[in-house]
Structure 1
Amino acid sequence: LREAVGFSIPCILFPLLAWCYHEPSCNDSTWPTIATKFCNGSRQSPINIISASAQLDTNLTAFTLNNFNGNSLKSITNTGKTVKVTLNSGISISGGGLSGAYDSLQFHLHWGNGSSVPGSEHTVNGKRYPMELHIVNSKAIYAGNTTLAVSDSTGLAALGFLIEVRKDAFQFFVTLIYLNYVSHLMAPLIPFLPSGDSSEVSQISLTDLIPGVDTTRYYRYLGSLTTPSCNEAVVWTVFKDTVKVSKDVIDKFSKMIYVTNSTSPLIVNNFRNLQPALSVTTSSSSKTCYSVGLMALTVLLGRL
């Protein structure tokens, strides 16, 4: 589980940082000594969001999600700590109370150990969800230079989607298990994809991955990367509506994805523990709530 390279939210490489989730010598309790500049800072992520304490902010308007409906996904990689999907160019976000446009770079996931052991990073009112999806975006002015982005206190914008089980949910997350899906399901490849290797993904959009989420309803706070070096450079958005998937899909993440190869340990419980909100103010967009059904998928994803 130890590596000589760090993995942060935008997969920025920080040489000489050896960190992990599980071993006592390098788990998140040691990160403040591994990356001393930020990992013990005052605006660390993730946090527990208390909905009753979130301050209504009328500046938190609707997002503009550019090209989220298009062919968004470029390649998928087993990093040895998570599954990371690199996005095609031309995808961006704006609005949503952000200071300007942000280019969408990648998304990745955090999970526990099956549907019975939750593994979201953020919690809401003390509840931890089975999984969490993070879409990572960098200020457009930096043109993808994440070194510059992490030096800016609002250089990155992360969209967090909490994932929970619903029996009748569309099984769209099969796209992350079956890597070479084109027009039909192929054999599952992730167990045989060594850490660091990539596989191409096609005909899947970001919208396909977040059905039923009203993106006008969200919490907002200024926080950090959730892995070393924990740079305090992230505008966090955590959506109130959850993404709903089947129990089988959640279970597959802890049963099929390995640290290096099929003889190595499985990747489980890859989330950072909650951080004290020492100087964090949580805001909320409009509290007006209405029911949104699962949106139709634009690509036939099949069934597990």
Structure 2
Amino acid sequence: MKWFVAALAVCALVPTVHSASDAVAWCYHLPTCNDTTWPTIATQFCNGTRQSPINIVEADATGDSALTSFTFTNYDSIDGMTKIENTGKTVKVALKSGLTVSGGNLPEAFDSLQFHLHWGNGVAIPGSEHTVNGKRYPMELHIVNSKSSLNGNTTLAVADSQGLAALGFFIEEMTGNSTNQPASWQNLTSYLARIPHQGDSVAIAPGFSLDDLLTGVNRTSYYRYLGSLTTPNCNEAVVWTVFKDTIKVSRDILNLFGKTVRVGNSTSVLMENVFRNVQSAQPVTTQVASSASKTCYSLGLMALGLALRGN
């Protein structure tokens, strides 16, 4: 009985869209409930055929001319982030209504609901969920979006094969000896000390935007595939967009997550290695090279050929 009550308590604190779970006690750090057990403790989807994350093999990505630019509405709002929370599984930031993403061959406009992060242990152990050509990055940020026509009903969203759209951004260490950079990430991580335990949350003061956190990323260059939530119940309801460019932050910011927040109360372990390992490969698409790029490439080859003949 005590185990059952504890399981309900754990699930009640899990982000609604992040896991869409109200009945499964799962974890990252214990052998009884870590990601190797999810296919058996959450059998409906976690052992499915369209699971995330995956290893993206760049050479295998098929060109798709329909993968156009996105429109990000109100991502520049300096009061778009409302609350930051330690869920016991991740750090989650709630977004105010009115932030949306459209275009990019998404089936319709999507409401941006929240973002959360996955990490290993600072720069020592990388912890991104997706990998590219086998490379795992230190961290990964996921912005979770729900079809606007569903009016925030996440029950309907996870029942729709494309009800959710997740935007994945890799995070890695910037070059040089900078600290507390960029300023937007220093601002965000300054809240970590105020949410050390599971269930802790605090309001975020206006002053920096989601765009500020995504600095340096070319959001017209990305991979696309159909997959799932990366936590139980692993619903296969997600249109995944994984951006090619990385967010670059200073080493101290990368290291701060695994040193500050815990999976439970003050006596529990620090929150480390909060990522699911890669699942079976899925078909991946990406942008088709523009005609201008192809022309430049052809002209370059011609010039090289002429130069070689001249020698």
**TM bucket, shorter chain:** 0.7 to 0.9
- Name the residue aligned to 1:281: 283
Any idea what SS the aligned residue of 1:235 has? strand
Deviations 1:227-277 (A, max 9, x none): 000000000000000000011100001111111233321000000011012
Give me the whole-angstrom Cα distance separating, in 2, the residues matched to 1:199 and 1:286. 43
Any idea what SS the aligned residue of 2:145 has? strand
Length-normalised TM-score, structure 2:
0.85
Kept in 1: contact 2:18–2:144 (CA 8 A) = no
Change over 3 Å in CA distance of 1:176–1:190 after alignment to 2: farther
- Name the residue aligned to 1:255: 259
Amino acid at match of 1:174: Q
- Name the residue aligned to 1:54: 61
Give me the whole-angstrom Cα distance separating, in 2, the residues matched to 1:251 and 1:38. 33
Length-normalised TM-score, structure 1:
0.87
Give unpaired runs (5+ residues) of structure 2. Answer: 1-5, 294-311
Any idea what SS the aligned residue of 1:14 has? coil
Kept in 2: contact 1:12–1:146 (CA 8 A) = no
- Name the residue aligned to 1:298: none
- 1:241 pairs with one of 242, 245, 250: 245
Amino acid at match of 1:153: S
Any idea what SS the aligned residue of 1:174 has? helix
Following superposition, the deviation at residue 13 of structure 1 comes to 4.9
- Name the residue aligned to 1:18: 25
Amino acid at match of 2:204: V
Larger radius of gyration: 2
Kept in 1: contact 2:195–2:201 (CA 8 A) = no
Amino acid at match of 2:229: L
Kept in 2: contact 1:8–1:229 (CA 8 A) = no
Kept in 1: contact 2:121–2:272 (CA 8 A) = yes
Change over 3 Å in CA distance of 1:285–1:109 after alignment to 2: same
Change over 3 Å in CA distance of 1:43–1:37 after alignment to 2: same
- 2:41 pairs with one of 34, 41, 64: 34
Of 215-224 and 2-11, deviating more is 2-11
Of 160-169 and 137-146, deviating more is 160-169
Q: How does 1:84-99 map to 2 (within 5 A)?
A: 84-99=92-107
- Name the residue aligned to 2:90: 82
Please provide the CA RMSD for this pair. Answer: 1.9
Kept in 2: contact 1:167–1:247 (CA 8 A) = no
Deviations 1:179-236 (A, max 9, x none): 2xxxxxxx94233xx3112100022211011101010000000000000000000000
Deviations 1:22-78 (A, max 9, x none): 211111111011111110111100000001110111100000000000021010100
- Name the residue aligned to 1:175: 187
Any idea what SS the aligned residue of 1:114 has? coil
Following superposition, the deviation at residue 12 of structure 1 comes to 5.2
Given the alignment of the two structures, is residue 206 of structure 1 paired with residue 206 of structure 2, yes or no? no
Amino acid at match of 2:120: G
Give me the whole-angstrom Cα distance separating, in 2, the residues matched to 1:211 and 1:199. 24
Give me the whole-angstrom Cα distance separating, in 2, the residues matched to 1:240 and 1:138. 22
- Name the residue aligned to 1:119: 127
Kept in 1: contact 2:19–2:233 (CA 8 A) = no
Q: How does 1:148-187 map to 2 (within 5 A)?
A: 148-168=156-176, 170-179=182-191
Kept in 2: contact 1:171–1:246 (CA 8 A) = no
Of 139-148 and 253-262, deviating more is 253-262
Kept in 2: contact 1:258–1:265 (CA 8 A) = yes
Identity in percent? 58
Kept in 2: contact 1:114–1:250 (CA 8 A) = yes
Change over 3 Å in CA distance of 1:246–1:257 after alignment to 2: same
Give unpaired runs (5+ residues) of structure 1. Answer: 180-186, 291-304
Following superposition, the deviation at residue 9 of structure 1 comes to 7.3
Kept in 1: contact 2:19–2:234 (CA 8 A) = no
- Name the residue aligned to 2:70: 63
Task: Name the structure with the higher helix share.
Answer: 2
Any idea what SS the aligned residue of 1:81 has? coil
